Structure formats: C-alpha cells, structure tokens
Structure 1
Amino acid sequence: MKILRIIRSLDPLSGGPAEGIRQITPHLKNLGVATTVVSLDSPDELWLQDQPFEAIGLGPVAGSYGYRRGLPYRILTLAKDHDAVIIEGIWQYHAYATWRALRGGSIPYFVYTHGMLDPWFKRTYPLKHLKKWAYWPWADYRVLRDATATLFTTEQERLLAKQSFWLFKSKDKVVGFGTSSPPSDVEGQRCAFLQRFPHLRDQRILLFLSRIHPKKGVDLLIDAFAAVAASDPRLCLVIAGPDQVGWQASLHQRAVALGIADRITWPGMLNGELKWGAFRCAELFCLPSHQENFGIVVAEALACGLPVAIAEPVNIATDIVRAAAGIVYADTASSTEEALRRWLSMTPQSRGEMGRRGLQLFIERFDFASVAKNLIPVLSEQISYE
C-alpha cells in the first residue's frame, strides 16, 4: 500500500501532527506501507531532509492560509501514484485543495481533524469562529462531507467535533494515536540532561514539555507550583518548549512576582536525548491544557513510566482515569494546585505503581506499533487494487 499524507508544514515547531507522522511512518513501513508526505513548505527547508519518508515541499505559499495557485493539480498528479490520501488538519488551503483535486474521483481520501473542531476554540475565540462560519459551508464542511472517512484520535475528540457547527456531516472512524517507544539507553539520557542542566541534579522535577501557549495552561501550573513550592526546597519546575507567541517573558514576570523565579528552568525546546532525559529525570509530568486533542507528550511520559497530572480537557484524560495512570483535574488554578498537593502526599510506592500502570497503558493503547496495525484495515477496506 502507498499512502500520500498532506500537511500544512513539517516544521518540528508546528506541533503534534508533524511529529505523529514522523513517529508512525517506520511502523507502517514494517507493515508494508510506503509513505510520501507533501507539505506546503519550501522545498529547501532543512526539516524536509533526512525524514523516514519521501518529503515533498510544494511551497512557498501565500500567507498563513497557505494558498498556492495550481496546488490541486499538483496534488492530483501525486495522488495518482498512491492508493490513498490522508489530509492532516483543516482550516488551511492544503485541505481544501485536496478536496478540489480528489472529489468525485476513485482515489479515497481521509481526514484527521487533529482537534481543530474542538468547541473550546468556539468559546474562546468567538470572532474567529464567526469568520470560520463564513467559509465553513463551502470549504471545510465539504472536505469532511466528501471524505471516505474522518479519522479521530479518541472518542472524546469525535464527540466534541460535532459541537462546533450545526452544519456537519462526516463518516467517522476512531483510529487512535500515540508515539513510539523511547530509546532504551535510560542512563545515557539522564546523564545527557543533567550534564546540560547540572543545577537540577538531586532535585524533584515537575516537568511541563509542550508549546508555551495560553491554551496549554502554563500560567495555572506556575500559580499552583508557587502554592506548593515551600513544602520542599528540592521541588523545581521545568517548563520546556518553544515560545511561539512571545508569552514566556510575561510568565517569567509572573514567577518573579510569586517569588519562585529561581525555582523554574526554561530550557526551550528539547529534542532527542535531552527530551528523553527530561522525562527520565522528572518525577511528574504536568499538562494543565484548556484544550488538547490527544497530547503526544503525555503518551511519551507514559512510555517512560512517568506518572502524569493532566487537565480534563486533554482528550486522553478518560483513559488515564480508567487505568489509574495519573491525576486528572479541572483546568483551573485551584484544581491544578490540588493535583500537585495530591501528588506530594502520595507515598513513593504509590507513585511507582502509578508509573507502572501508565507504562502498561502506553503499551496497550498508545504505542504506534499497535496504532499502525489498527489504521491499515481502515484504509485498506476502501482501496481498489484493480
């Protein structure tokens, strides 16, 4: 089977969908699936190099929407050499252009919405939602309506997607999501992280690792940490991730005002050994997001046997509760503080058991080796090999 995946950008800073493609492709390859990824990046972008798949940049494009004249024709030309097409995300031209290229044809296409229909955006950005209504009926509504299937990562995502627009029609499939097992050199990863950040040695690390963005609730975590920091001088907070909207300076000032600035480390975006080392050195992973479609970083923490404390809007929160693999709380400052206090009150044995349950949950539900096996039948049943 040959699949063509179409995404706005493969820039590592763009978040989960691009990383998900990178992670699942080797597992699909092991099952006999060849992957080509088309993005609207310029062909000379460095991140298109050395990928585990053929990466084709069809940019540059105009503006954030990503319009490019002739894009549907170029997509159709590439799609003819593949058995199926997967659109990664909506609201940008790559999705609408793919619909224009493939509607009414024989090549099946599928759409991952990646949480972009979560009603949180409707509530939080009502003016943007009105703007989206202006082109929803003639653009992205049609993209989903005519797709062979709309692919959701969780049942919660599927249910929430129905709440943003009353005009909605799609053929839904919940196919799961996840990440790959981490590299096995645990001690080497720990050493690499502590060598880079020696002041964190022998400290009790609470880890946030994601984009520094208001929807991620970093401000809630800082406030909650300030409330519990005095309980143990070894407690420290690591806030790791790219500052995409220029929010970090304001958050730092917040920490200064709360008197905990010297207890917070801001290492920026972590990759490779340093990222895994951060998971290995931490004792709790925290993600107080107001909206999170899946949360690959949560799956990565579970894969390391690291207990998690995540807010209810993270769409795998239900799985965490069922497996008793972490602490789930409301996305408020008081609930975030309560979650940290609950963690600090637990015995080392209880924390260890929680981490082991999390690892088992990862193996059963979120390992891309298993997710890939579940995805192939969904694609295959719609493909004609005549």
Structure 2
Amino acid sequence: MKVLQVIPSISLEMGGPTEVVLNLVRATRQLGVDVEIVTTNDDGNALLDVPLHQRVLYKEVPIWFFPRAAARMKDYIFSADLAPWLWHHIRDYDLLETHYLFSYAPTCAGAIARRQKIPYLVNTMGQLSPWALAQSRRKKQVYSWLIERHHLNRAAVIHCTAAGEVEDVRNFKVKTPIVTLPLGVNQPHLLPDAKQKLRHVYGISPETPVVLFLSRLHYKKRPELLLQALSTLAEQNQDFHLILAGSGETGYENELKNLASSLGITNRVSFAGFVMGEDKDLLLQGSDFFVLPSFSENFGIAVAEAMAVGLPVVITPGVQIAPEVATAEAGLVVEGMLEPLVEAIAQLLKSPSLRQRLGDNGQQLVKQRYSWEAIAQNLSSVYSAVIHKKKLPEHLVSQSSLNKVFSVY
C-alpha cells in the first residue's frame, strides 16, 4: 500500500494534531506501509525553513512541502503550488487521508481524488463539534453547503477518535461509514526525582502541590477559567502552584498574565511557554495533577499524555475522551463552570491518596487503549479494506455505519 496524508500545516503552533500525524505516520511505516505527508511550509506567523517541491525527511518522516501563500488566511492556508502537484501525482498513491476541514489542502485533495477516482479518508479533527462550528459560523455554513458536506459524503471512510466525534459527524448529516480509532501516546522517558527537579527549576516549595495546564494558550482551552478557580482556592488558603505550559498569540498571553495579576495569584503561577522533549517530560512527571477545562477537544492528546505518566486529570465533557476517563476513574470530569471546577481541584489538592488512585487508573487506561502500535495496525487494516473494496473491520466501525465501503466515484 502507498498512502498519502494531506494536512494544511505541521507547525508546532497547530498543537497536538501535528504530533499526532507525525507519530501516526511513523508507527504505520514501521508496519511496512509506505506512507508520506504532503503539506505546506506554514509555521504560524512564520515559515518553516525546509526544502520545497521535493520529498524530504523531516522529523524522521517523508514529507513533501509546498510554499504557503504570503498571507496565511487563518486556518485556510492556501498554497498555489499544491493543487498542480496533487493533480499530477495523486495516482502514485493507492489512498489518501486528509486532516482538518474548512481548509485548502484537504478540500483540494478531496476534489482531485474524486476526479481521478482515488479513495480517501477524512479525519475531521473535531471540527464538527458544536463549539467549533459556532466559530465563524456564517463562513462555515456557506463552505459546508458548497463544499464540505459533499467532501465528507463522498469519502470512503470518516476517521473519528472518540464516540463524541462520531455523534458530531452524524449530526452534520454525513452518511459515510465511520471508524473510531483513538490517538496514541508515546511511552514516556522516565526522569528520576522529577518532582524535586521541577520544584527546583520553578522555585516551588517541596510541599506545594503543582497543578499543570499543558496545551496551546487559546480561549478554547479556557485557561482563564482555571486561573479564576485557583484564585477562589487561594482565598480559601489552599496551597498550590500552577504551571501554564504552552504558547499562543502574544496579546492573549498578556491577557492571562494580567488576569493572574488582577486576581492576586501572580506569585503562584508560572508561564513555562512552549515545551517539548525533556522539558515537557519534566512538567508531566513532576506535577501533581493536570487540568484542561476546554470548550472542545476532538480527543485531548495532552490528557492522554498526562495519564500515561500517572497524572490524574480534571477535564470537561467537551474533551471527547471524557467518557473513557470517567469510566476508568482516571480523573474528574466536571462541567466547565467555576464552582464545579473549584470543587474538583480542591478534592485533588486535599487528597494525595485520591491523586494516586486516579493516576494509577489512568496509566492502565493508556496502556490498554492508546498504544501507537495497536492504532497503526488497526488503521492499516482500514486502509487495506478500502483499497481492496472489502468490508471494514467490524470492531472499528461505528454502530451507526453500514459495514461496507461506499463508492466514492
């Protein structure tokens, strides 16, 4: 099999999806599937310094980069050179998988695939959740009517990562078969004495519980709600230190710093910026619990990464692996409002034994469900079924899907 993954950008500023696609391709290639990526040189407000118009190894993955238009156009990320290349080379591949919606690269790839009779999968990346569709609502309504719903209904398969995402796809009036495959988590590189090292780096008392927020700094993730909840606990003389790890627009970061100052908790909050590698491992392994009160997450890869190292989590129902977390008793799932968030954080601050129990459960959940190797094997079986026009693996197919591959021509 030869498979092409199409994604508008693999900038680290895009957050979890970049790491997901890179890890997915690595794991699938290890199984012998010939997988490549085509994307742009987009890097947020800058451009990646990479060779263009040629196949290169980037982070151990074969990728074709094409120049992004000078104006980024938010998430649309137009590239004039991408369509001609796809038109001339799409038949070099047996199958495409596109990532994201309402964006040039996946839209263009889907249209060309249909014209040249190449089957394709669509990974919606959580962009059909009610919260996501409410952003730039009118533009998305028009785009959906003209392009996106047809793009989805002519796909061979929709690739979802959680049951909530399946529901969102069906509510969008898409009848294409759906497979549900969670995302994976890399095995952590264990750091000895991580808790002591973290407290030394950030100047935190050894007895103070550390609360971790590790995600892109964006209003969708609701870090301001977390700051407000911790301000309430500070007024109750609760001991804690919050580390906000992640980057975002400069104006929004400054708003969060000003909010922490106005709430009187500046000395209890550290802004770590974007972290990766050992710095990220240190935060995950050295903290006491993880909080993500997000409006919407199609999966929540940072949540799974936290559970992988035994970190209990506090999340909202908008994080679509929330049902799995609740069932496994790996964390606390609370409504995204101030009072329940305060109560959940207070429980974990007061009870090391509860943190230990939830953290142990989370590690078991990750081992059982979120192995990249198992996910790659399942996805490869889906690819094979689509290419050879066979039934999809029954254990992966949404109950609301017919167990067959729809004609995409």
TM-score by length of 2: 0.86
For 1:84, the aligned partner's letter is L
Which of 374, 380, 383 aligns to 1:376? It is 380
Counterpart for residue 224 of structure 2: 219
> Following TM superposition, by how much is the alpha carbon of 1:235 offset from its aligned partner in structure 2, in angstroms?
1.1
Secondary structure class of the residue paired with 1:377: helix
Q: Distance in 1 between matches of 2:125 and 2:388?
A: 27
1:124-203 correspondence to structure 2 within 5 Å: 125=135, 128-163=136-171, 165=172, 168-183=174-189, 185-187=190-192, 193-194=198-199, 196-199=201-204, 202-203=207-208
1:86-101 correspondence to structure 2 within 5 Å: 86-101=97-112
For 1:376, the aligned partner's letter is S
Q: Distance in 1 between matches of 2:80 and 2:244?
A: 41
Counterpart for residue 324 of structure 2: 319
Over the aligned positions, Cα root-mean-square deviation in angstroms equals 2.3
Secondary structure class of the residue paired with 1:5: strand
Which of 283, 287, 312 aligns to 2:288? It is 283
Counterpart for residue 395 of structure 2: none
For 1:40, the aligned partner's letter is T
> Following TM superposition, by how much is the alpha carbon of 1:243 offset from its aligned partner in structure 2, in angstroms?
1.8
CA 1:355–1:384: 2 relative to 1, 3 Å: same
Structure 1 residues without counterparts, runs of 5 or longer? none
1:291-310 correspondence to structure 2 within 5 Å: 291-310=296-315
CA contact (8 A) 1:115 1:161 kept: no
Higher alpha-carbon deviation: 86-95 or 202-211 = 202-211
CA 1:68–1:13: 2 relative to 1, 3 Å: closer
Counterpart for residue 407 of structure 2: none
Alpha-carbon deviations, 1:275-301, whole Å to 9, x = none? 010011111000000111111100100
For 2:373, the aligned partner's letter is A
Which of 318, 323, 334 aligns to 2:339? It is 334
CA contact (8 A) 1:191 1:277 kept: no
CA 1:252–1:70: 2 relative to 1, 3 Å: closer
Q: Distance in 2 between matches of 1:372 and 1:193?
A: 34
Q: Distance in 1 between matches of 2:19 and 2:165?
A: 19
CA contact (8 A) 1:203 1:235 kept: yes
> Following TM superposition, by how much is the alpha carbon of 1:192 offset from its aligned partner in structure 2, in angstroms?
6.4
For 2:363, the aligned partner's letter is L
Identity %: 29
CA 1:202–1:75: 2 relative to 1, 3 Å: farther
Structure 2 residues without counterparts, runs of 5 or longer? 51-55, 390-409
Q: Distance in 1 between matches of 2:164 and 2:363?
A: 22
Higher alpha-carbon deviation: 172-181 or 59-68 = 59-68
> Across the two proteins, how many residue pairs are aligned to each other?
378
Q: Distance in 1 between matches of 2:197 and 2:148?
A: 45
For 1:92, the aligned partner's letter is S
Higher alpha-carbon deviation: 199-208 or 314-323 = 199-208
> Following TM superposition, by how much is the alpha carbon of 1:201 offset from its aligned partner in structure 2, in angstroms?
5.2
1:14-163 correspondence to structure 2 within 5 Å: 14-41=14-41, 45-46=48-49, 50-61=58-69, 63-64=72-73, 65-69=76-80, 71-123=82-134, 125=135, 128-163=136-171
CA 1:369–1:229: 2 relative to 1, 3 Å: farther
CA contact (8 A) 1:7 1:87 kept: yes
> Following TM superposition, by how much is the alpha carbon of 1:234 offset from its aligned partner in structure 2, in angstroms?
4.4
For 1:82, the aligned partner's letter is Y
CA contact (8 A) 1:308 1:327 kept: yes
> Following TM superposition, by how much is the alpha carbon of 1:21 offset from its aligned partner in structure 2, in angstroms?
1.3
Secondary structure class of the residue paired with 2:212: strand
Q: Distance in 1 between matches of 2:42 and 2:342?
A: 44
